[in-house]
Structure 1
Amino acid sequence: MKSKLRSSLLSFCTFYLLALAVLSSQAQTSSPTPPYPEIFNAVWLTVNERFYDPSFTGVDWKAVGERYRPQAELARSDSEFHAVIEKMLKELPVSHLQISMPRGTGQFGTGVLTQQIEGRTVVTYVPEGSDAQAKGIRFGDILLEPNKELGALGSYSDLRLRGCDGKTRTLKVRRESHSQPERPSIRWRTFSIDDGKRIGYIRAVRFDDDVAPLVDAAMSELKNTNGIIIDVRDNTGGNMSFVRLSSYFTRSYPIKFFADFRC
């Protein structure tokens, strides 16, 4: 397990640095026709040689390369090429595998995260302090034209949404980059249901250095509730601090997992 983890980390770091160096060098050259096929091959080979799982989690990586290579050859800009590479990498169902464009270039969204649910693009997360939040995008909203979200950093997207009330609205939302982790990493509250039962709710945004004291405070406040919901949707990862939260639960208490982003 340790060797696989070490190999996975090495693969990611090597791939990230190679991709960043390749694209950065292309951004600094004045060549009117960047060699996208060569860059594509470098990215594909890096994953092919250094991905932690020799079976590529069951994905036919060779076939994936053959499918996306013609698209890369047809790219006419860094943004188009970047979009092709990102789609190819997403064929592997793993996290932390991506290619980075030079700072300030490429395509950006509004910061909201979405999930495909029953064929609809549903908003599952809105960054705090974002223009999307200020304009009124909410959890459960449905993006009616999700292809219009991406564009140049700082530009605006006219997003058509359908809310939980069934009403359709159009919002002009700025495309932004949101890379800083939210604080606090752990948030909690209680609410009542039928028969006066009190339920605790813990939202784990990220497992970071501030988690331990927050978990202790949350569990102390929620200890007399009839049940606790732990929400880890769109959690961005972090460190081993998640152990602090899991240490409060033993086999004598059932833990159920489910996901539902609908209204």
Structure 2
Amino acid sequence: MKEAINSAPSRRHFLRLTSMAAASALAPAWAEQLEPADSATSQPVSARLATFEEVWRTVRDRFYDPHLHGLDWSAVRERYLPDATRASSEEALASVTNSMLSELHASHTRYYTRYEPEYYQLSDIFAGALRRRGLERAFPGGRISYPGIGILSRLDMQGHSVITGVIERTPAQQAGLLAGDVIALADGAPFQPVQSFRDKIGKEVVLSVRRAGAFMQISATPVDIEPNKMFLDGLRASARIIRANGRSIGYVHVWCYAGSVYQRTLEHLLSQSPLNEADALIWDLRDGWGGAIPEYLDLFNTRAPTMQITDRNGTSELRNVKWRKPVAMLVNGGTRSGKEILAYGFKKYRLGEVIGTRTEGAVLAATAFLIGGGLLLLAVEDVHVDGERLEGVGVAPTIEVQADPDSMDRSDPQLNRAIAVLSEV
């Protein structure tokens, strides 16, 4: 979620909403070109300490709770300062900084480096605000991109990348990678989500992958990813019809909701063939980023009219599109921020079944700061929904279905349950 929720947000306020003040230290323009071997020398110690201090001050001055959850923030600084002083690289400094931030026990509060896809994704999500804060000094020309294959991932206990999502119409999907796959190596070297693909755009990279206990090699060809475009293209490419029990079930996956363009695209998809001919809809909000606002649930308001607008050339488009057929929502522990607000309202007002596992419970309002060579995502406002606080709690599904990480073919029991529910309506 971005920075605030209200019933009639302004465009400026909306752009501040996602899941999750100007910074005085900005990444140098040449920073994007550094190789991993350069990390230890990419910043002098004084610059790394300046980054640590700037993060600490920004939290002190902008964190949503002025009492910082009861912490003595100055004492916290003194405790982590020796480790920050000893940090020999940007990654090591980020680790110390995030250990400090974790003491706040707050979502939307983390420091990302340029070696993480999230740095680029959040920079693109918050580009409107960051453009006023010197975005072009980190991304010359204002174009935000990184080399990748189109996956979302997290680190396991061994430090390996576990794929949590494969975006449609990306090299990862084309290569046959699946959620739950563990990537250990890339071209024989330890896998890094960004650096493994640096200078390899358009060139085949061999990934060593563990799937359900078996090891395999999968080749993928990285591309230059523009995050918002990837998420939007993935939304469009996800739309399909699933046949079950003589019924047509529409399916669409919204990976990111940080911008009204995603909702407009969803409405357009639902108004066009083949989705508009479906008997029911599966609305997949698992994983990815938030940014949604409560008004998006109006899509399922059966009492409001839809308009068709036709210009003098005969071109028509639908406005205020509504879905008046059965619908189910998919959620999991990666459903976060504004998506959780949608899940809360969808469940409370009984728009359909919410299927999967409890959402993340990351429902604070945040903004982003470019500091040093990285990006600080910081919770700057508290959020209550219909008087309830979802932070740290999340939304429980109406039908709980666990994922199946041990399936060799990575079958999707949550999706299968939604299909079963809707095909019996």
Give the TM-score normalised by the residue count of structure 2. 0.44
**Cα distance, 1:51 vs. partner?**
0.8
Cα distance in 1 for partners of 2:269, 2:169 equals: 25
In 2, Cα distance between equivalents of 1:206 and 1:238: 7
* Aligned CA distance change for structure 1 residues 209 and 33 (closer, same or farther; 3 Å): closer
What residue in structure 1 maps to residue 153 of structure 2? Answer: 114
Residue pair 2:43, 2:90 contacting (<8 A) in 1 also? no
Supply the AA of the counterpart residue of 1:192: R
38-47 vs 180-189, greater mean Cα deviation: 180-189
Distance across 2 between alignment mates of 1:149 and 1:117: 13
Q: 1:89 to 1:32 in 2, by over 3 A?
A: closer
Deviation string, structure 1 residues 96-145 (Cα, Å, up to 9, x no partner): 754566748xxx78452125789985312235665545554333322346
**Residue equivalent to 2:192:** 149
Confirm or deny: 8 A CA contact 1:199 1:228 kept in the other structure.
yes
How far does residue 43 in structure 1 lie from its aligned partner after superposition?
Answer: 0.8
Q: 1:206 aligns with which of 236, 250, 256?
A: 256
For the 8 Å contact 1:126–1:139, the answer to whether it is kept is yes
1:40 Cα deviation after fit: 0.8
Conservation of the 8 A alpha-carbon contact between 1:127 and 1:178: no
Per the alignment, residue 267 of structure 2 pairs with 215
- Residue of structure 1 in register with 2:50 after alignment: 38
**C-alpha distance 188-80 of structure 1, shift in aligned 2 (>3 A):** same
Q: Alpha carbons of 1:89 and 1:162: their partners in 2 closer, same or farther (altered >3 Å)?
A: same
Confirm or deny: 8 A CA contact 1:20 1:99 kept in the other structure.
no
Within 5 Å, which residues of 2 pair with 1:81-230? 81-85=93-97, 88-89=100-101, 92-95=105-108, 98=111, 103=138, 110=148, 111-115=150-154, 122-127=162-167, 132-133=172-173, 135-144=175-184, 148-150=191-193, 152=195, 154-155=198-199, 159-163=207-211, 166-169=214-217, 171=219, 178-182=226-230, 183-184=232-233, 185-186=235-236, 187-193=238-244, 195-207=245-257, 208-209=260-261, 211-212=263-264, 214-215=266-267, 217-218=269-270, 221=275, 225=279, 227-230=280-283
Matched, 1:50 2:62: yes
Higher relative contact order (CA 8 A, sep 6+): 2
Write the distance in 1 (CA, Å) between the matches of 2:76 and 2:180.
33
Between the aligned partners of 1:103 and 1:199, the Cα distance in structure 2 is 44
Residue 18 (structure 1) aligned to one of 23, 26, 38: 23
CA deviations on 1:9-40 (whole Å, 9 max, x unpaired) are 59xxx2xx31643x44997xx98543423331
**Structure 1 residue 159 displacement after superposition:** 3.9
Question: What's the counterpart of residue 70 of structure 1?
Answer: 82
- Give, as a single letter, the amino acid of the residue that structure 2 aligns with 1:215: E
Determine the C-alpha separation between the residues in 2 that align with 1:59 and 1:255: 39
Shift of residue 94, structure 1, vs aligned partner: 2.7
Aligned residues: 245
Partner amino acid, structure 2, of 1:209: V
Percent identical residues:
22
Answer with 59-68 or 77-86: which moved more.
59-68
Secondary structure in structure 1 of the residue aligned to 2:162: strand
Q: What one-letter code is carried by the residue in structure 2 that aligns with 1:200? A: G
> 1:232 offset after TM fit, Å?
1.3
Contact 1:206 1:237 in 2 (8 A): yes
Q: Is the 8 A contact 1:4 1:52 kept in 2?
A: no
Q: How far apart, CA to CA, are the structure 2 residues paired with 1:47 and 1:175?
A: 35
Closer, same or farther: CA 180–151 of 1 in aligned 2, 3 Å: closer
Partner of residue 360, structure 2: none
Q: Select 2:299's aligned residue among 214, 238, 245.
A: 245
